[in-house]
Structure 1
Amino acid sequence: MFSSFWKLGSWGEKKVFVRGLVNTRPVRRRRKMISEAEENFKKSQGHDYFLKTINGNRIKVCRLLFINTLGLGEDSLKRWMKETDFSTGHNSSTSNSDTSSQSLSIVETKRVKSQETRRSIERKQVTETVMTWLSSIPKVPSHYCRASSNMRYVDNEFISKNNMYKIFKNWCIDEQKKAAHLKLFKTVLIAERIAIHKPRKDQCDTCVGHKCGTVSEENYIAHQQKKNPAKKYELPSNFDSIRPGKRVRDPVVVDIRQLKYLPNKEVYFTLDHSEEWTVMPRRRENQKMEIYKEQLYKTQLPISDDKYKHLQELKSVMEMDHHAFYDVLPHQQKKKK
């Protein structure tokens, strides 16, 4: 009986199984009441519990044996029987036959299935209401985290998810629609990967400046036009990472001081300007992968004159062997007015 009970697919079917083994009857004997309070809360019905043998015969047992056999909690049993007493409106003590239990089980099965179907339809309707409201809110993808996140962000006018839910409920009142409860609302947000606050590193100076009015519309449009080409661009290698080490306390990316990419797709690095070049100890994802990027510039791009002067000032804290690199950097001299 334990195996048969726990093989049932839903809790509704488990309730029907239990109700078919319990008969409701009037209370046969009462203890002497101690106070008026107990008199007001005295039980009007009792229950008889049965288990079935292999032959299908029902044997009356105590409640403790009943719940231990099925592995059912006592609180669950009391709650289920209370629901039965209120829903059926009759007691089943008039007959202890299997026929009455089977008829009760059939009625309960139909009632439970009807309730589950109604709840399922209602849940689907309120979920569609949430989706309709969310589709009307402007959303944007992550600005810098597209490679690691597919979250979409709503406007910052929402303080929190609870505040967002409050606005949703007001919208439902205006549209005369039934609002979903808060738990379902948050479940839909998680399923649709919709968030409110953007990550800190997601702040673009140009986009934020345009929103604040410090960046012109012309520069903002040019920035947006460059955004799409800058997206799926790939590094001239097929390394999954450029971290020099893998184990704990091994060097990490921020420890790298120089990187060198060769045409043969090999990558070298140093952890100090005075060290010799070391090949990157990372395994390639696919050795047969061919990546070719057209060379955009034939000569090295010049830097501004101010940046050149600042780099010259850094030579005072560098070794003499590295000064030549900064001396030959192409730079644009300021035009004299």
Structure 2
Amino acid sequence: MPEMASNEGSDIIMDKFLKDAWATPPSSPGTSYSELELSPYTHGMRISIENDEEFFNFPTTARAKSDTDNNAAESKKHSNDSIKCDCDIHTSPSNQHLPEIKILEENKNKRRKRNTDNWKREINKKKRMLGEEYIGFRKVQNKIVQDVPRMKRVLNKSICAKACKKSKTFDCKRFSEQQRKHIFANFWKNINWQQKQKYVCSLVHVQNTKATKRSKLKKSNSFAYFLKDGTERRRVCKNMFLSTLGLKAWTVRSWLTNTQVSCSSKKKRNSTKNSKKKLVKNFLASLPKLPSHYCRSTSSKLYLEPVIETKSQLYSLYKNNALELSLPVVSRCYFDNIFSEENISLFKPKKDECNTCIAFKTGNISEAVKLCPKLNASAAYYKTKLAVHNFTAYNLVTKEVVCYWFDETAADLKSSTFANFYMDYISSILRKDVKPVVIYSDGCTYQNRNSVVANALLRLAIEYNVDITQKFLVKGHTQMEVDSVHSVIERKLKNRQIYLPSQYISTTQESRRNPFPYIARELDYTFFKDYDNKEYQLYESIRPGRKKGDKVVFDLRVLKYSSDASINYKLSFESTFLELPHRPKRKWNKNTPHALYLSRIPIQKSKYQHLQELKHVIPSDCHYFYDNLPYKQ
């Protein structure tokens, strides 16, 4: 991978470089834009330890194929002066504020929902409901064909009998043409079919006819028709009623006789539909889920465990479960609609990408959390499992990789946990050779951009008498080389069953052979120190403002930790360093912090019981580990 040099030192303008990479023609002779190969990486945190000059890798690097030899020679030339490494927690999302580059946000990763309003059949139904011209249906040789043009509903002229005009019972003469037009327009333009039926039924009074001894019954019911004059109902003749509403007699009679039956059957259908929907929701609720690590501060969405990879697999699992319990099975389409309504998703979180980078996307992002046990047995689908995390450090010069593996009983995902990784890895390098350190990281608050990590890095700067600069990459360009390690490990884990967390260690070591295997460390609770303790911190806050409305931590772009126990900041890569408005403490504890945990962290009792239930599909020599897991009583 080519390295690009700059003589601007630690003040290199990151976002300007990102723009210039696209705007500036290639400097090498014989290289054109058509020969540039884009190499995307997933987001992470980059560390650069330097002597005289500062080097960094462009997050979406323009790599010229014709300059391979030149780049290799340039890299070899500076290999003795610069050591670079990448670090990334496998569970670290980025959720950051971007003052530098305005990126058009798009609705990404959202399942498109069907819009029935644009369907031809639905448009035709709507036209029919509004009284407009539409295409009707007819039956041809036991087939339903839609090819019958229907005329537009119009207000017909009322033809009342002479007796009706003179009658004191009917008030047809009280309705003017203007009133009839208003009633007609309101009936066809403002209400749906169900409301139309209720409206007609409320204006027609049905009476049972009585038979006399002299005459036989010709009809069982008689109808009295009414129209509304404001809020008052006035009786009119049948012709006036039908012509004003633009209806036919058989339509009114059908609505009057079938409304009660249709309402009761509709309730029955709705109750059946709701019961099926409830069964699907109960099934989805029974599946184990994981919280979002990528936007936990702004999203409450839960993710299904990565043992379920596709919706087809999920639907098959639901169908088999329903058949075993003799429950009704809904269609795949209806199942997907219910799944979309719930606040859950398949576990495929993606890194933040800008509109330019997403066009050159080449592969899937590896999972953000590993599970143990990792089984192919169907019994594992309904059980919660032990979460295992991986923090990876990558040295770009030596290509040395260190993976820190730990499960949820060793540590949780809080700022002090990540501060321990910073302290351990950077101090191991500084013990060999003291050089200025530049850290490139995303803006994830609980992981990178917080006062706990800032104070831990300041302790390192004071202890080794070296300046440490931490730069927060622009959103959309936080993809890092370290994610190649995760990808290699992911391929090695494919189709492999994991029974113990220690198997992730051996798998990591087997994932690469050349130039040398990955270094994997399995951590327990004794590794972690309490850097969150205020006694060991110089600065209580790294906020660049004091009052309401001032800049906040999200606005920080660069932090510089100096050996004189001071922290300076930048709000943009182009600006100059400013001193934090908060004064450091005069007295603070310089000793190594106390242990963060006194014992293993207990898991939930329900998770412990689920793991015990999975022992019948786990080899017996692994049972001891699960029997000794701490859990909440």
TM (norm. structure 1) is: 0.45
TM (norm. structure 2) is: 0.27
